[in-house]
Structure 1
């Protein structure tokens, strides 16, 4: 499953990055920031 999701992941990176840039300011005020960084690291 992880192998097949890699191709779609690269395509989703563009809108995902823009989405994260909008959500990041909100998460930075929350304790979810650390959890968010771990997910971002996994996608990148």
Structure 2
């Protein structure tokens, strides 16, 4: 049976850590930040 190809979208979005866990970026952090309150943006940090 042939090897299964990695999903090319997932390949770009997820990173594997040294221990084998998966890192990903969370939504609502990158743009249209002007209409979000400072309090809300502070909560999104981290």
The structure with more strand, counted as a fraction of residues: 2
Higher relative CO (CA 8 A, sep ≥ 6), structure 1 or 2? Answer: 1
The structure with more helix, counted as a fraction of residues: 1
